[in-house]
């Protein structure tokens, strides 16, 4: 652990993952946004947008006690970016907003419960810190892994992430 503080540990992990995610998103070729490696897969542009929009979802865990997917007034993602510059601008905006929300929080608030539901059906209920890690960070890392495969299939060199890659031998 970084410290005994939940908040500080999450911030440290978030900073590491944001830097890695941004490196990968910077490589997304928007001229190939419609690329889809399999009919059941998201298109490249959709996947990249989803990764960015998950940052706003993580912020919900920090700032609210629940989220009802049936609430017509609930937050909705913005329009899909149409260029890599738009994608990175939204990533930077959402990253800064999430970081600020986490900095304004504290360990006590992060142990409060968060409930994700669809009307009366509870989809998930757990402490906010756990929701941030499982449905926020881990969820984003999962999709980032998918994105790295898409980029590999498009013959785009993959940067080092948790160690050297076949394309980037320098890590750190």
Is 143 marked as a binding-site residue? yes
Residues 65, 131 contacting (CB under 8 angstroms): no
| Phi, psi (rounded to 5 degrees) for 72 | -65, -20
Residue 68's beta-bridge partner residues?
117
Confirm or deny that 139 is annotated as ligand binding: yes
Reference 172, options 50, 19, 2; nearest CA is 19
Give, in order, the Cα–Cα distances in Å from 44 to each of 17, 34, 48, 51, 171: 20, 6, 6, 11, 26
How far are the Cα atoms of 50, 55, 71, 74 from residue 118, in angstroms, in the given order? 20, 20, 8, 12
Whole-angstrom distance, CA of residue 127 vs CA of residue 130:
5
38 is in an annotated binding site: no
Q: Where are the beta strands (DSSP E) in 9-161?
A: 66-68, 113-118, 121-127
**Binding site: which residues?**
50, 139, 143
**Binding site for a divalent metal cation: which residues?**
50, 139, 143
């Amino acid at each position: 652990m970084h410290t005994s503080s939940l908040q500080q540990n999450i911030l440290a992990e978030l900073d590491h993952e944001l830097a890695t995610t941004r490196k990968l998103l910077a490589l997304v070729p928007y001229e190939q946004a419609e690329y889809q490696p399999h009919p059941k897969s998201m298109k490249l542009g959709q996947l990249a947008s989803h990764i960015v929009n998950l940052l706003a979802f993580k912020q919900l865990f920090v700032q609210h006690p629940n989220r009802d997917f049936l609430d017509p007034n609930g937050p909705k993602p913005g329009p899909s970016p149409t260029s890599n510059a738009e994608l990175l601008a939204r990533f930077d905006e959402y990253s800064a907003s999430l970081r600020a929300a986490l900095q304004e929080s504290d360990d006590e608030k992060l142990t409060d419960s968060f409930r994700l539901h669809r009307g009366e059906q509870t989809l998930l209920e757990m402490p906010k810190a756990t929701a941030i890690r499982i449905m926020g960070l881990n969820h984003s890392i999962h999709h980032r892994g998918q994105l790295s495969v898409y980029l590999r299939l498009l013959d785009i060199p993959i940067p080092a992430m948790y160690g050297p890659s076949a394309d980037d031998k320098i890590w750190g």
